[in-house]
Amino acid sequence: MTTYITTPIYYVNAQPHLGHAYTTIVADTYSRFKRLCGERVRFQTGTDEHGDKIVKAAENENVPPRQYVDRISAQFRDTWPLLQVEADHFIRTTDAEHVAVVRAILQKVYDSGDIYFDEYSGLYCRGCERYLTEKELVDGNCPDHQTPPQEIAEQNYFFRMSRYQVPLIEHIRNNPDFISPERYRNEVLAFLSEPLTDLCISRPKSRLTWGIELPFDDKFVTYVWFDALINYLTGIGYPDGQDFQEFWSVAEHLIAKDILKPHAIYWPTMLMAMGLPLYQKLHVHGYWNVDDTKMSKSIGNVIRPKELVEAYGVDTLRYFTLREMSFGLDSSFSYEAIVARHNADLANDLGNLFSRATTMVWKYRAGRIPTPSGASEEDRPLREAAQAMLREYRQTMAEFRFHLGLQAIWELVGLANKYIVGNEPWALAKDVEKTERLDTVLYNLLECLRLLTLTLRPIIPGAAAKMAAGLGFDADDMLVASLDKGGAWGLLAPGGELTAISALFPRIEGKTDESGEKIKEERSQSKKQKDPVMAEVDLVDFHYFQKLDLRVAEIIAVEPIKNSKKLLQITVLAPEERTIVAGIAEHYRPEELIGSQVVIVANLKPAKLMGINSHGMILAAKFLVDGKEKLVLSRVQERVAPGCKVA
Ligand code: ME8
């Protein structure tokens, strides 16, 4: 099986931003996923360097176009390794091979009669580099650029796109997967329900010289889209390269909805005119917005991927974008959201699971993978959940529903964390008769970690490589690098040795300032400890601890809260009188509490619970007994003055 995946080739009139980064991360993840499935993959990205707006951008910087495109193209090329994107080919439309192929194709289509010369007048948008129809305008403006188009009349060459309208409609109807998600397929079909006009594919040199000269008329250069789309062919060696033979029949293009029309209409009709089979699939995603507005260079509200990598790390950026956006729909970017995803999903759920499980293997089994005793019935739910996760993962990743693939992975993370709490390995370790059970529990946890490592490789390759190393694997060991070879349960070899690694995802502390625009973050870099048992403990700076105001409070009154089974309204002295709403009604009767001295967090922001303002929080130990949560309040052993500080 083979896969050919492409990103758009990005215009070099501005530097890469999060929108470009997203498409390219998706393509990279998909290509890594396909490789994990054992497929041969070709993944291509690149830059689009001809046309009007590139000339304008170069003029603005007072440099010749050639020099300008070299500089910005290099910025795109240099950005991708920072995001751990590994493309097989980076194409530029100024590459000599590309220029030659575009000219050959133009000549071929001209010779076959699908290109003709005509006079045309219309409404031209410089931003889009195309003529707009009256219907497309919103209040007289281009809907994408919010500027009025110019009235232009000139002689040009035209591609007989209209001739292919009916075959294109038939192709889309007969191939339900040709354009997805479905909303975009419907959009294209709706557009095609109106008569299709021919496409102007040249620009007179009097107006533009920075382009590929037409082979049959040297007074014109090629319209940038007729040039750009052909990159998908030239990059794989059209017409007679080996890769073209192997990969063109499986081509999948990935774009955002802004360039749906050129990809869903111009490109397939061009391919029909060339006598080539159409690409297999067009995958269309939505926009990254900032404050409900599309992130774009012309609006100037862009987020730079390089800065995000520096602030949060590449794995967090990749995970965040894939988890946060439902492929096909728009998504909003915010710094708060990326920090929240990092701390909750990566540091807390995944990082803690990895650290707790491996720390116990170090502590109780000196870092050696124990031998499990048979497939016990009580562990069946965990084993089945792992297999269900793999099935869901395979399907959703293949369908570009990455956020669902990640949800499936995180369900297993959650289950494995619960498995630790439910099985209390620390209690098993104290009981000599439970040695075998402890071995089995630890083994099952490590096996979960291995399957998580395997499935996370395409998404967060850096962290997954570190996880693999922590479990004692070489990165290219098939048990963590192949879904077919490593996907079954129980393949981890007992006796293997773990390797101590530093924390996978140190928490990000810090806050967003008032304006919400600029953010100052400090990554709490927990230092690598000598003792492997401590290696994964999430360390907190002393000043964070100091910020907590912990006090002894004396309970003087307790009342149940109407309509709540869990909450009690508690009045305490600390030393002033205050009300705290606490979720302990299922664990303590009111009369048991009166007179008790407990420890509270006194400087918590007030919160309203069931309509009652709560000023603080009571600390309690929390654990499971027979699968049910139990709470035991923290009390001071000797009576002290209420309000006394806890240090
Ligand atoms: O259109 N959200 O180049 P381009 C999500 N050269 N993705 C975004 C985005 C956003 N806010 N902004 C940009 C061109 N993108 C042509 C393509 S292909 C033969 C020629 C991503 O630099 C998304 O992939 O304007 C979008 O389709 C692409 O960048 C447009 O890049």
CB atoms within 10 A of CB 607: 12
Which residues pair with residue 523 across a beta bridge?
508
Q: What is the pLDDT of residues 436-478, one digit of tens each?
A: 999 999 999 999 999 999 999 999 999 999 999 999 999 899 9
Which residues pair with residue 288 across a beta bridge?
331
Report the nearest-CA residue for atom 19 of ligand 1.
Answer: 229
Kindly state the tokens that stand for 610.
């069931």
Instruction: Tell me the pLDDT band of 357, cut-offs 50, 70 and 90.
Output: very high
Across 89-104, average pLDDT: 98
> How large a percentage of the chain has pLDDT more than 70?
94
Question: Left (φ > 0), alpha (ψ -120 to 50) or beta: where does 15 sit?
Answer: beta
- Exposure pattern of 220-257 as b/e (b: 16+ CB <10 Å)? bbbbbbbbbbbbbbbbbbbeebebbeebbebbbbbbbb
State whether the beta carbon of 266 lies less than 6 angstroms from ligand 1.
no
Mean pLDDT for all residues in the chain: 92
Residue 142 annotated in active site: yes
Report the nearest-CA residue for atom 3 of ligand 1.
Answer: 10
Across 551-556, average pLDDT: 91
State whether the beta carbon of 91 lies less than 6 angstroms from ligand 1.
no
Residue with tokens 């690149």: 46
| Active-site residue identified among 142, 263, 466, 615 | 142
519 or 370, which is more confident: 370
| Active-site residue identified among 34, 50, 98, 128 | 128
Distances (CA, A) of 26 to 31, 92, 318, 451: 9, 20, 9, 21
| Active-site residue identified among 20, 53, 98, 285 | 20
- Exposure pattern of 409-435 as b/e (b: 16+ CB <10 Å)? bbebbebbbebbeebbbeebbeeeebe
Kindly state the tokens that stand for 407.
């949800």
**Please, what is the angle between helix 165-174 and helix 267-274, to 10°?**
110
Distance between CA atoms of residues 571 and 556, nearest Å: 6
548 or 34, which is more confident: 34
Across 139-164, average pLDDT: 93
Kindly state the tokens that stand for 622.
């929390």
Is residue 520 over pLDDT 70? no
Q: What is the reported pTM?
A: 0.80
Question: One-letter amino acid identity for 349?
Answer: D
Query: What are the backbone angles phi and psi of residue 120, rounded to the nearest 5°?
Result: -145, 140
| Active-site residue identified among 34, 53, 98, 125 | 125
State whether the beta carbon of 11 lies less than 6 angstroms from ligand 1.
yes
Q: Does residue 575 have a cis peptide bond before it, meaning omega lies within 30 degrees of 0? A: yes
Residue 17 annotated in active site: yes
Residue 128 annotated in active site: yes
Q: What is the pLDDT of residues 202-232, one digit of tens each?
A: 999 999 999 999 999 999 999 999 999 999 9
Residue from 9, 252, 259 to probe ligand 1 pocket by mutation (most atoms less than 8 Å from CB)? 259
CA 297 to ligand 1 center in whole angstroms: 10
Alpha helix ranges (H) inside 457-506: 461-470, 478-481, 483-486
State whether the beta carbon of 296 lies less than 6 angstroms from ligand 1.
yes
Report the nearest-CA residue for atom 27 of ligand 1.
Answer: 256
Report the nearest-CA residue for atom 23 of ligand 1.
Answer: 256
Is residue 515 over pLDDT 60? no
490 or 638, which is more confident: 490
CA 134 to ligand 1 center in whole angstroms: 24
Nearest one of 136, 189, 181 to 165, comparing CA atoms: 189
Q: What is the pLDDT of residues 389-438, one digit of tens each?
A: 999 999 999 999 999 999 999 999 999 999 999 999 999 999 999 999 99
Ligand 1 atom having least distance to the Cα of 297: 12
Ligand 1 atom having least distance to the Cα of 258: 27
Residue 342 annotated in active site: no
Residue with tokens 């409070």: 553
pLDDT at residue 128 in the model: 82
pLDDT at residue 532 in the model: 39
pLDDT at residue 511 in the model: 52
Report the nearest-CA residue for atom 13 of ligand 1.
Answer: 19
pLDDT at residue 297 in the model: 78
Residue 37 annotated in active site: no
State whether the beta carbon of 228 lies less than 6 angstroms from ligand 1.
yes
Distance between CA atoms of residues 246 and 318, nearest Å: 30
Ligand 1 atom having least distance to the Cα of 288: 2
Ligand 1 atom having least distance to the Cα of 13: 22
Is residue 516 over pLDDT 60? no
pLDDT at residue 524 in the model: 40
| Active-site residue identified among 108, 205, 261, 297 | 297
CA 10 to ligand 1 center in whole angstroms: 6
State whether the beta carbon of 23 lies less than 6 angstroms from ligand 1.
yes
**68 membership: H or E segment, kind and range:** helix 65-82
Across 320-333, average pLDDT: 97
